[in-house]
Amino acid sequence: MNPFSSETRLRDMIRAIRACKTAAEERAVVRKECASIRAAVSDNDNDYRHRNLAKLMFIHMLGYPTHFGQMECLKLIAAPGFPEKRIGYLGLMLLLDERQEVLMLVTNSLKQDLNHTNQYIVGLALCALGNISSAEMARDLAPEVERLLQFRDPNVRKKAALCSIRIIKKVPDLAENFVNPVASLLKEKHHGVLLTAIQLCADLCTVSEEALEYFRKKCTEGLVKVLKDAVNSPYAPEYDISGISDPFLQIRLLRILRILGHGDADASDLMNDILAQVATKTESNKNAGNAILYECVETIMSIEDSGGLRVLAINILGRFLSNRDNNIRYVALNMLMKAISVDGQAVQRHRATILECVKDSDASIRKRALELVYLLVNETNVKPLTKELIDYLEVSDQDFKGDLTAKICSIVEKLSPEKIWYIDQMLKVLCEAGNYVKDEVWHGLIVVITNASNLHGYTVRSLYRAIQTSGDQEAVVRVAVWCIGEYGDLLVNNIGMLELEEPITVTENDTVDVIEVAIKHHTSDLTTRAMCLTALLKLSSRFPSCSQRIKDIVNQSKGSLLLELQQRSIEFDSIIEKHQNLRSALVERMPVLDEATYSGRRAGSLPAAVSTSQGNPLQIPNGVHKTAAPLLDLLDLSADDPAPQSSSSPNFLQDLLGGDILSSVSQSGTTQPQKSGADVLLDLLSTGSSLAQNGSSTADILLISQDNKNKTSVNALDSLSSPMANSAQSLPASSIMDLLDGFGPSPTVPNDNGPAYPPLVAFESSSLSLVFNFSKQPGSPHITQIEANFTNKSSDIYTDFIFQAAVPKFLQLHLEPASSNTLPGSGNGSITQKLRVTNNQHGKKSLVMRIRISYKLNNKDMLEEGQISNFPRDL
C-alpha cells in the first residue's frame, strides 16, 4: 500500500513523520501527504474526508500551511454523522480564524447544530462558536445561545455561558440580553454551571456599567452566600483538589466579589466577614489553598476596606514569602508590588523577609524582590538596606550583579543623607562590581567628590587603598586615577585626615606606581589610559622629584597606535621637559564641578542659561589676554565670542581660545580667525576639538557629557587644550611654538587645519619674502582680512619700506598702516600690515591682486612688483 495515499491511516502518517531523521525528510513526507490530500480534495472524496482533515490538523501543528483544508471542515460540519462533525469542528477551530470569509458559510450549519437534538452535537457547536465566533456570527447566533443557557443538560448550559462571553466581547450591545439569564444561573448548584456563570457575570460587568450596577445590587449577597457554602461545604470528592473543595470555584467567587466590591462601600461591607473567614480558615500547606488565599488577598486589596483586613492580607503575603515553594514566593512578591501603593506601611513590616528574597536562588524571584526593595527604600531605612544589598553584592551571581549594582547606585544617589556616606557606599560598590557600573555613575561620583572639599584627602586615600585591592575593576581604577591626579599631594602628606581614618604612609613613588600599574594593566582601555596620562602630567607638577620617572612612563605611550594616547604623551612630554614654568599653572586642580548642571545634564535638560552665566563674568577683552590669570579663561568657553580682529598690535596669541572654539563650533570653517604665528598653536588646539567632534573617546574621557557644544563648568574636566591655551597666553609665542618640538611631521596637523586657509607666500625673492595670512569675520564671508608679513633675508636693513596693492573693480581694498617702515635684516624682524579685501562677487570669482613694494637699500630706491593670482579659492 502506498503510504502516501488517502488510504493511509492517520497513525501511519504520524509514524512516517516521526521516523524522519532530518527536517528535510520531514518536509518531503509532509509534502507528499499534502499532495495526496489535495488530490482527494479535488476529487471530492467523501470516504476519507475526516481522516484527511485529521492529518491536516497534525500537519498544521507542525507548522505547515493547510489552508486548502478549510472548505473540507465546512463540508464535514454539514455532514450528518457525529464523527464527521466532531473532526469538522475541531478543524474549524484550528485551521480557520474569524477573519476568513469562509467562516461566514458555517453560520447556517452552526445554527442547525445549536438546535440539534443530540446534546453532544450542540456541545460541539457551542465550543466552536465560543472559540472562533466573529461579530456577525455572534449577532446571528446570540438568540440560540441565550436559549441554550436554560437547556436541561448542565454541560450544555455551562458551554453556552462561556460561549456568551465570546458573544458579548464581540458585540457588547448584546450584553443586556444576558443579564437576566445569568442572574438565574448564579443560583445554580452545579459547580460547572456556577463556575461559568460567574465568569460570564464578570465579563458582563466589564463590558457594561449597567450590568455591574445590577449585579452589585441584586447578586452580591447571594454570591457571598455561595462562597460561604463553598468554604464550609462538606467534603466533595468530585471537585476536590488536594484536599480543598473546589478551589477554582472559590477563586472565581472571590474574583467576582472583587469586581462588585471595588469602589462600592456597601457591597464591600457585605463581603468583609466571608473574606476574613477565607483568609483565616484556608489551609495554606497546598498550592490550591494558597491559590485561594492569593486571590483573597487581591480581593481585599481592591475593595473598600476599613483597614483591618488589609493587615491580614499583607501578613498572608509575608507568610508566602517564607514558603518553600518558589511559585508562592513569586506571586507574593508580585502582589506586594501592587500592595505597596495601597498600604506601604504594612509592606514595610516585611522588609526583612523581602530582603531575604533578594538572595533567593531563583533569578526571577531575586529580580522581583530587588524591585520591591527599591520601592521600599526611604530616608529612614536607606543605610541598613544599602548595607545589606552591598554585602550581598559580594556573593551574588555574576549575571545578577548588573541589576543589583544599578539599583544600589540609584538608591545611594537618590537618598544619600551625607556625602561621606555616598562616597563610602559608591567605593564599596565600585570595588565589588566596578565593571558593572554605568559611566554616569562614576562620573557622578567624581562630581560629588570635587564638591566635597573637606573629603578630598579622605577620598583619595580610600581610593588608594581600593585600587590596591580591586585594581581589576575598571571604574575603581578610573575614579582613583582621576582623584590621585587631582589630589595626589593630599594622599602623600595625609592632609585633611578625618578622625575615623588611620594614617597611611604613601610615598610619591608609591603614588606614581599605582598609576603606572593602571596604565600598563592589560584590561585598561583607551579611556583609562588617557586618564592615567593626564594624572601623570598632574603628578609631575605635584611631585617634582618624580618628574623624570613620570616623563619616562609618559614616553612609553609615544609609540601607541592609538592617536589619542600618542598625542597626549607627546604633548605632555614636551610640557614636562621644556615648560616647567608653565606646568604648575597648566595642571592646577580642577575647579569644583557644578552638581546642579551635572544632574541637569543627566536628566537631559541642560538649562541654556548656565553656559552664559558661567562665561559672562569672565569675559575679557582680547587685548588683556596677556595678563589674564591662567585658569581664568577655563570657563570662558562660551562659544559666541567671535574673537574680534581689530587689534592692531601683532598679538600672536590673541584669540587662541576663540580659535579653538570656533573650530569646534563653526563647522563651515568660513570664520576661522587666524594670525601668523598662531596657526601652529591653533592646530594644537583644534586637534583636541576636532577629536571631540569626531566623537572619539576624547570627549568621553574628560567630558562628563558628550555634549561638547554646551560648554559649561563641567567641561572644566574637558580637554586639556583649554588649560594649555590659557596658560599659554601668558607666555611669549616662541616658547609655545616649542610645545610642538617633539611632534615631528605629523600628518594629522594639516588635516585638522582643514577649514582654515593656509598662509600664502605672496612674493618671494632672494632677499624679501611676503606671506599673507587670511582670516574672515564670522557672518561676512565676502570680507577677507589679510595680514601681510614681510621678512628680509638679506643682511641689510631696508628703509622707507612701502607696500602698495591694487585690485580689480569687483574687489574693494582697504590698507591699514604698516607696523613699521623699516625692515631689519637677517630675518630679525618683520613688518606686518593689515589689508581688508571685500569681494563683491564672493563665491564666483577669486581674489587677484597686483602688488608693488618699494624700499631703500643703502639709500638706493628699489622696486619689486608682482601679481598674486594663487589666492585660496572661496576668499
- Nearest approach in angstroms of CB 7 to other proteins is 18
Element of type H or E holding 822: none
- Nearest approach in angstroms of CB 368 to other proteins is 9
Cα distance between residue 494 and residue 87, in whole Å: 87
Between 325 and 738, name the residue whose CB sits nearer to other proteins. Answer: 325
Between 366 and 842, name the residue whose CB sits nearer to other proteins. Answer: 366
Alpha-carbon distance values, 618 to 369, 450, 641 (Å): 52, 21, 12
- The string of DSSP letters for 48-67 reads THHHHHHHHHHHHHTT---G
Residue 101 is placed in which grid cell? Answer: 470569509
Is 114:125 a contact under the CB 8 Å cutoff? Answer: yes
Q: Which residues pair with residue 865 across a beta bridge? A: 852
- Nearest approach in angstroms of CB 268 to other proteins is 20
- Nearest approach in angstroms of CB 76 to other proteins is 13
- Nearest approach in angstroms of CB 190 to other proteins is 6
End-to-end CA distance of the chain: 92
- Nearest approach in angstroms of CB 99 to other proteins is 7
Cα distance between residue 107 and residue 174, in whole Å: 18
Q: What b/e readout covers 285-307, taking b as 16+ CB neighbours within 10 angstroms?
A: ebebbbbbbbbbbbbbbbbebee
Between 327 and 670, name the residue whose CB sits nearer to other proteins. Answer: 327
At 612 the three-state DSSP class reads helix
Q: Which residues pair with residue 857 across a beta bridge? A: 798, 860
- Nearest approach in angstroms of CB 327 to other proteins is 5
Between 178 and 801, name the residue whose CB sits nearer to other proteins. Answer: 178
- The label of the residue with cell 604698516 reads 818
Is 705:718 a contact under the CB 8 Å cutoff? Answer: no
Between 93 and 426, name the residue whose CB sits nearer to other proteins. Answer: 93
Amino acid at 845: K
Is 758:653 a contact under the CB 8 Å cutoff? Answer: no
Neighbours of 31 (CB within 10 A): 12
Phi first, then psi, for residue 534 (nearest 5°) are -60, -45
Residue 542 is placed in which grid cell? Answer: 605635584
Between 263 and 758, name the residue whose CB sits nearer to other proteins. Answer: 263
Between 18 and 522, name the residue whose CB sits nearer to other proteins. Answer: 18
Q: Which residues pair with residue 806 across a beta bridge? A: 850
Between 81 and 591, name the residue whose CB sits nearer to other proteins. Answer: 81
At 255 the three-state DSSP class reads helix
- Nearest approach in angstroms of CB 344 to other proteins is 22
- Nearest approach in angstroms of CB 169 to other proteins is 9
Between 245 and 687, name the residue whose CB sits nearer to other proteins. Answer: 245
Cα distance between residue 270 and residue 282, in whole Å: 20
Cα distance between residue 788 and residue 830, in whole Å: 10
**Which ranges of 208-360 would DSSP assign to H, the alpha helix?**
209-232, 247-261, 265-281, 287-302, 308-321, 326-342, 344-348, 351-358
- Nearest approach in angstroms of CB 95 to other proteins is 9
Between 80 and 747, name the residue whose CB sits nearer to other proteins. Answer: 80
Between 192 and 755, name the residue whose CB sits nearer to other proteins. Answer: 192
Between 130 and 261, name the residue whose CB sits nearer to other proteins. Answer: 130
Q: Which residues pair with residue 823 across a beta bridge? A: 798
- Nearest approach in angstroms of CB 155 to other proteins is 6
- Nearest approach in angstroms of CB 73 to other proteins is 13
Is 79:53 a contact under the CB 8 Å cutoff? Answer: no
Between 154 and 544, name the residue whose CB sits nearer to other proteins. Answer: 154
Between 299 and 785, name the residue whose CB sits nearer to other proteins. Answer: 299
CA atoms within 13 A on the CB side of 21: 0
Q: What b/e readout covers 426-436, taking b as 16+ CB neighbours within 10 angstroms?
A: bbbbbbbbbbb
Between 92 and 550, name the residue whose CB sits nearer to other proteins. Answer: 92
- Nearest approach in angstroms of CB 682 to other proteins is 55
Q: What is the β-pairing status of strands 240-241 and 244-245?
A: antiparallel
Is 350:317 a contact under the CB 8 Å cutoff? Answer: yes
- Nearest approach in angstroms of CB 362 to other proteins is 4
Cα distance between residue 106 and residue 88, in whole Å: 11
Task: Give the angle subtended at the CA of 176 by the CAs of 203 and 104, to the nearest 5°.
Answer: 80
Between 68 and 248, name the residue whose CB sits nearer to other proteins. Answer: 248
Q: Which residues contact 112 (CB under 8 A, 6 or more apart)?
A: none
Between 62 and 761, name the residue whose CB sits nearer to other proteins. Answer: 62
- Nearest approach in angstroms of CB 279 to other proteins is 15
- The string of DSSP letters for 639-655 reads TT--------S--TTTT
- Nearest approach in angstroms of CB 152 to other proteins is 5
8-state DSSP, 27 = H
- Nearest approach in angstroms of CB 55 to other proteins is 10
Q: Counting beta carbons within 10 angstroms of the beta carbon of residue 407, is it exposed (0 to 12), middle (13 to 18) or buried (19 or more)?
A: middle
Query: Counting every residue, how long is the chain?
Result: 875
Cα distance between residue 423 and residue 445, in whole Å: 7
Between 18 and 860, name the residue whose CB sits nearer to other proteins. Answer: 18
Give the sign of the dihedral formed by CA 462, CA 463, CA 467, CA 468: negative
- Nearest approach in angstroms of CB 529 to other proteins is 38
At 469 the three-state DSSP class reads helix
Residue 445 is placed in which grid cell? Answer: 561620583
Is 199:165 a contact under the CB 8 Å cutoff? Answer: yes
